[in-house]
Structures are given as C-alpha cells and as structure tokens.
A and B are shown apart, each in its own frame.
Chain A
Amino acid sequence: MKNIILPEGPKLNLVALMDIFTILVFFLMVNSSDVEVMQSDAAIKLPQAYAEAVVGTTLKMSIIDDALIVQGRKILDISSLQLTQESIPALQTELQYQASKRAFASDAEQQAGRAITLFADQDVPYEVLRLILATCAAADYRDVSLAVDKAPVQEVTSV
C-alpha cells in the first residue's frame, strides 16, 4: 500500500516559453550583427533616403556643425573654406597621411580607390560637398559612401 508514489503537484510546462526564447535569441543574434554605430552621430542630422548597403569599417569623415573631422581629428572650419578653389589642401594632406599608413589590400581595391564614409548634416550646401568630394578624389579616396538615415519605406506608386 505504501508503495504507490504519485508525482506531487502539477509540473510547470515551459515548452512554449522555451520556444519563444529560442526564437527570440536567434532573432536578436541575427539583428545585432551590426553593433558598431557612430557615437558622434547625435550632432548630425543625416539626410533621409532609401539605401540597402550598411556602413563599412572605412575612414570616417564627418561635418559636425562647422568642423570638418577626419577620424576624430579636426581639420578645419567649413566657414573658412574658399569655395572657389579646386580642392582643400589641409584635407588632402590629412587624407594622404591616412593613406600612407595603409597599403592597398588588393588590386581590386586599388582599382576602386580607397574607401571613405562621409557623415554630413542634411543642410550642408552642395558647394561644400563638391569641394570635399573633389579633394577625396584627388587623394585617391574614390570609393565614397554617403551615410544616410534609412527612411521609412516609400509607398509603391502604380502607373
């Protein structure tokens, strides 16, 4: 008679919870692959546009307020630029210095030029951008990525 031992109390059924957690973990792992974000972004209001490509680990050039910054080092004031000139000597010197620190990784890279990512405010006028881009091209930084804030998906217009 005393041999009958029934399990005591109901067991907690955790199967559904486990399912959720497993799915959640995989979802988060996939989504958190691009963790590295620019921390100095706050001051810059990037332009909005649709784009697919993600930010690579390239040289970073940003325009924050009035300062032109390459890899965290201030190069010059935008307001002191002479817009009529062909390129910006100070920026070109800096870019050449950055380029001298690293050789081309491959022939393909040499073909495409060195990579640089530009973080600029959406209100920067074209005349300034043109000068900066021209200087980048002169310093062989020809693979330019323009950082944008991914806009909400545009409505599909039917013809």
Chain B
Amino acid sequence: MKSKITTLNTIAELDITSFMNLMIVLVPVLLLNMTFSHLKVIDLTLPELSERIVATQTDEQNLEIVVNPTSLMIMFPAGVPLHSIALTDGKFDKSELQTYLKQVKATFAEQATPKSDITLLLHPKSSYQTLVALMESVRSYPEVVAASVVRAALFPDVSLGDNVESKTVVNDTLTDQTLIGTMTDLTAGVES
C-alpha cells in the first residue's frame, strides 16, 4: 500500500526548462525585430516607348477623370462631363467617387459593353497623394462578401495623362494628352 502511493506521485514529468529558455530568448528577439511598417507598393506598368501614345487619343469610348485644381470631372464619352466631385487641398470624397463609378460600371455591364479601363488626366500641379488616392479609388472598392471584406474590381486598367487645357474649359482636354502609363492590377479582388 505504501509503495503504491510512492509510484503514483512520481509520474514522470516533462522537463521543459530548456524549451522555456529558448522561448524566453526567442520572443524578445522576434519582438525587437518586428516592424510595424505599413509600407506597400502600387504596381504601375509603363508601356514600351514604341507603344506610347503621344498623339491625340481618338478613342471616343474612353472613360476619363479629369483632375482640375478644385474638382474632379468624370467624363464619358471623352470630353463630355458626367459628374463633378469637389477637390479641396488635393482631397476628395472617396466614397462619393466610388459610388458614382459603381453606377457607371453597372451601366456598362447592362449595355453588354463591360469596361475595365479608365484614364486619369492630371493637372500638372496635382500632388502625388491625389494621384495615388485616385488610382486606388478607381481600381477597386471594398465590398462585404460572406462577412469578410474583399476588394471588388472597378476600373483596374488605369492610364495616366496630362490635363493640359485645364485652365480653360475642360471640354477639349483631348487636344494634347499624352498617355504615359497603363496600370495592371494584380491585387484586385472579385469582379463585381
């Protein structure tokens, strides 16, 4: 009886001391190395020089956003204003733009002419922040699908151009536009 008690209480225990030591060293090392950096990139593919469109863009079926110092003009077909959004200090209402573009996208889908390209015509003094914010807004928008947020594609093929005529009437921005880039979107979520 006495011996039975002894064996019950000496059940082998895992010796985890060395493992603990390792963990205690590893955790601070990894914590120190951890960078809470939010550095990300947006990919932009520039066309080859030979493909570059320097002359007048004659495609009438071009969806455009013209960036003026104080407003964004959504145009379709090229040169015909559809909608205007206020631009103050290079900032604009992202959700207003996306709501409108969603309607535009839906209209294209209804007419059986789906469209995924858009041209941004920027004023020379537009800031980099405006350009990046616009690019991000027109590529995709957040959408809730099955309780999780995904990015739904809007107009992922973005081209950039100059808005040279912006000081005068916006109607003839087409006269001297140079397309310098086409963006290919690798990260867009589901097609809406």
Contacts and interface: CB of A to CB of B under 8 A. Distances in A.
Interface stretch (B45-53, B78-86, B108-116): B45-53
Interface in A39-86: 41, 46-56, 83
A15 to B, nearest CB: 9
B144 A126 contact: no
B39 A46 contact: yes
Interface string B104-146: 0000000000000000001111111111110110000111100
Interface in A90-112: 112
A155 to B, nearest CB: 7
B44 A122 contact: no
Contacts of A53: 40-43, 186-187
B23 A28 contact: no
B167 interface: no
Interface string A21-49: 11011001101101101100100001111
Nearest to A147: B41
Contact of B35 (A37, A134, A155, A158): A37
A16 interface: no
Contacts of B26: 25
Nearest to B1: A4
A157 B97 CA distance: 11
B39 A146 contact: no
Contact of A54 (B33, B40, B126, B131): B40
Interface string B59-72: 00000000000000
A106 B61 CA distance: 36
Contact of A136 (B5, B37, B46, B151): B46
Interface residues of A, number: 68
Given A137-B46, A137-B47, A144-B46, A120 B128 contact: yes
Interface string B150-174: 0100000000101000000000000
A124 B99 contact: no
A34 B39 CA distance: 10
Contacts of A150: 38-40
Given A11-B13, A126-B128, A157-B99, A113 B187 contact: no
A144 B44 contact: yes
Contacts of B19: 18
B18 interface: no
A126 B44 contact: no
14 contacts: A25-B26, A31-B34, A50-B136, A51-B136, A52-B151, A129-B128, A142-B45, A142-B46, A143-B45, A145-B42, A147-B41, A149-B38, A150-B39, A157-B142
Given A31-B34, A124-B127, 10 more contacts: A7-B9, A37-B37, A47-B133, A48-B129, A50-B151, A52-B40, A53-B41, A125-B128, A133-B46, A148-B40
Interface of A: 3-7, 11, 14, 18, 21-22, 24-25, 28-29, 31-32, 34-35, 37-38, 41, 46-56, 83, 112-113, 117, 120-127, 129-130, 133-134, 136-138, 141-150, 153-159
